[in-house]
Amino acid sequence: MKKENYKAPSIELIQISTIGKHSILNMDTSSVFEEVEDVEKLLIEYGSPLFLLSENKLREKYKLFKEAFTEEGIETIIGYSYKTNYLPALCSILKEEGAWAEVVADMEYKLARSLNVPGSEIIFNGCYKTEAELNKAVSEGALINIDSFDELELLDKVAGSLGKKARTGIRVNFIMGNISWTKFGFSHETGESKEILERISKKKNINFEAIHNHSGTFNVDPKMYSKSTRIIIELAEYAKKIGLNTKIIDIGGGFPSSNKLKPQYDIPGGSKYNENTLKQFSSAVMYYLKKAKHLFNNGKPILMLEPGRAIVDESMQLISKVVSKKKNANGGYSVVMDAGVNILPTAYWYNFEPKLANKMNGSANDLNEKNKTNGKNYNEFVKMYGPLCMQIDSINDAVSLPSVEVGDTIVFSNVGAYNITQSMQFIQTRPAVLLLGPNGKEVIRKKETWSDIFTLDIIPKRLGKSNGRY
Ligand SMILES: Cc1ncc(COP(=O)(O)O)c(C=O)c1O
């Protein structure tokens, strides 16, 4: 065995200014958006937890998505799916990039109009649209993807009473695996997808334009989009035979982001996301569409896409603090954070990989540990809980992190999709959202206060309040 030469021990002076409440011993700045200079200062100013939106990242993701689905001879339209994240500032940035609005309810429709999205650039989806909502959508020239035979009758009546033709698409569904989204639209297997075309061909007040399919969310297999495209092409062929001209092929959203699904929701072995992923999905569609151009819009197909998470997930981060630490009965330790599933509901589906962004309140022991491993952080597996009084408020069962202590700052990346919109006003108020853009930091949603939560409540006078308002 080769012997190592003897090295004399040496004592190295470690420079620490003060180890106090705000001393920073270890900072992994690479984990926070590059626009952030001092994450601790942000939390002091805007409170913890805190959502960050990077304008640069959002614009970049939008452009990459559009580019991946751009082909000569095909017009590509992106209808950003509002339900994924309807922060008005975020929707405004995407509108500036050229996105249309894909909405599924009056609330989203009104938001899009309030941001000056023209009615003609709204795609109105969903399985429940009221007569009043249809009335507005027809008047303003929105594209309405109908979901049922009942909706066709209502739409025809509404358009007739307005003396207008309704711009109409049909949503179709097909079976693909055991979690197929057969709740929405017309079943292809039962023949309803053809029957709706036949019925439309007899309606005076319907202007048929689109065939639409959205088959799920976080679809990891491009084959699903090949199948969707082939079915839409088959239906466009049938539509042509019965005298209907299909202008638009709308393949919905559902494209994955770089988040990691929990194994029970993923394919065996785990799906892989990289810079070619979107191109694979695009090729799955284009391969068939390019051969069937003649069936759409007199040879100039309009390809409509309704991405949500693929555009916005990576544009947001959630910054949060460790508030307590305890030993687990079966080994290791847990930490309680000030952010939980109330504002990070996607933690039910994803294995987030939170990173230590800032180490506070360090002890000499931390430094010793750090030194022992040659300046590198040593990792432990930590159970991470949120602040709710429910055992199921668990963010991750085994996060690999350096020794974390109360006061440390943790960053969750890729949180832009379905967290803001599905967050709960439960036990905790919701955090502020900060936009990092060309003007530096701008608050785009204020931190909620307790009175925001009770603003709509009324106490009957007889129960003691003089003005009846709470
Ligand atoms: C009709 C429709 N389009 C688009 C989307 C966006 O999906 P994703 O965020 O998975 O891209 C959804 C989400 O469920 C949807 O229902």
The pTM score is: 0.91
Q: Of 111, 123, 99, which is closest to residue 171 (Cα–Cα)?
A: 123
Mean pLDDT of 105-132: 98
Is the bond leading into 49 cis (omega within 30 degrees of zero)? yes
Residue closest via CA to ligand 1's atom 4 equals 253
Q: Which atom of ligand 1 is nearest the CA belonging to 309?
A: 9
Q: How far apart are CA 333 and CA 118, in angstroms?
A: 53
- Predicted confidence band of residue 187 (pLDDT cuts 50, 70, 90): very high
Q: Assign 212 a pLDDT band (cuts: 50, 70, 90).
A: very high
C-alpha dihedral, 112 to 115 to 117 to 118, nearest 10°: 100
The span from the CA of 58 to the CA of 264, in Å, is: 29
- Is the pLDDT at 151 greater than 60, yes or no? yes
Q: What is the spatial distance between Cα 72 and Cα 415, in angstroms, rounded to a whole number? A: 34
Strands of 180-315, DSSP E: 186-187, 206-212, 248-250, 302-305
CB 20 within 8 Å of CB 412: no
- Distance (Å) of CA 221 to CA 120, 231, 275: 32, 17, 15
Residue of the CA atom closest to atom 9 of ligand 1:
308
CA-nearest residue, atom 5 of ligand 1: 253
User: Each residue of 73-95: pLDDT tens digit?
Assistant: 999 999 999 999 999 999 999 99
The residue whose two tokens read 């006003």 is: 425
Domain residue ranges of the chain, discontinuous segments joined by +: 29-53+314-453, 55-313
Task: Look at ligand 1, atom 16, and give the residue with the nearest C-alpha.
Answer: 214
Question: 59 C-alpha vs ligand 1 centroid, how far in Å?
Answer: 19
Q: Which of 77, 147, 306, 346 to mutate to test the pocket of ligand 1 (most atoms within 8 A of CB)?
A: 306
Name residues contacting ligand 1 (CB within 6 A). Answer: 81, 84, 102, 125, 214, 217-218, 252-255, 306-310, 417
Residue 368: what pLDDT?
Answer: 40
What is the rounded average pLDDT of the residues 22-50?
80
Cα separation, 142 vs 382, in Å, equals 50
pLDDT band at 17 (very low <50, low <70, confident <90, very high): very low
Beta strand pairing call for 206-212 and 409-413: unpaired
In 1-60, at which residue ranges do the beta strands (DSSP E only) sit? Answer: 50-54
Nearest of 90, 71, 74 to residue 82 by alpha carbon: 90
Query: Residue of the nearest CA to atom 10 in ligand 1?
Result: 254
- Helix/strand/coil for 383: strand
Q: How far is the CA of 75 from the centre of ligand 1 (A)?
A: 21
Q: How far is the CA of 217 from the centre of ligand 1 (A)?
A: 6
Task: Compute, in angstroms, the gap from residue 61 CA to the centroid of ligand 1.
Answer: 16
Instruction: Pick the atom of ligand 1 nearest to 418's CA.
Output: 9
Alpha carbon 381 to its chain centroid, in Å, reads 27
3.90.1170.50, 2.40.37.10, 3.40.50.300, 3.40.50.720: CATH of 29-53+314-453:
2.40.37.10
Query: At residue 42, what are phi and psi to the nearest 5 degrees?
Result: -60, -45
Report how far ligand 1's centroid is from the alpha carbon of 294 (Å).
28
Return the pLDDT at 467: 59
Q: Supply the mean pLDDT for the chain.
A: 90
Give the C-alpha separation, 236 to 296, whole Å. Answer: 7
Task: Collect all residues with Cβ–Cβ distance below 8 Å to 30 and sequence separation of at least 6.
Answer: none
Tell which atom from ligand 1 comes closest to the C-alpha of 306.
Answer: 4
Residue 3 Cα to ligand 1 midpoint, Å, equals 63
Centre of ligand 1 to C-alpha 350, Å, is 17
CA of 70 to the centre of ligand 1 (A): 20
What confidence tens digit (pLDDT) does each residue in 371-402 have?
344 444 456 789 999 999 999 999 999 988 88
Q: What is the mean pLDDT of residues 352-367?
A: 69
Estimate to the nearest angstrom the gap between the alpha carbon of 375 and the chain centroid: 37
Nearest atom within ligand 1 for CA of residue 310: 11
CATH of domain 55-313: 3.20.20.10
Looking at residue 22, what is its pLDDT?
Answer: 36
**Looking at ligand 1, which atom is closest to the CA of residue 254?**
10
Q: Pick the atom of ligand 1 nearest to 217's CA.
A: 10
SS3 call for 340:
coil
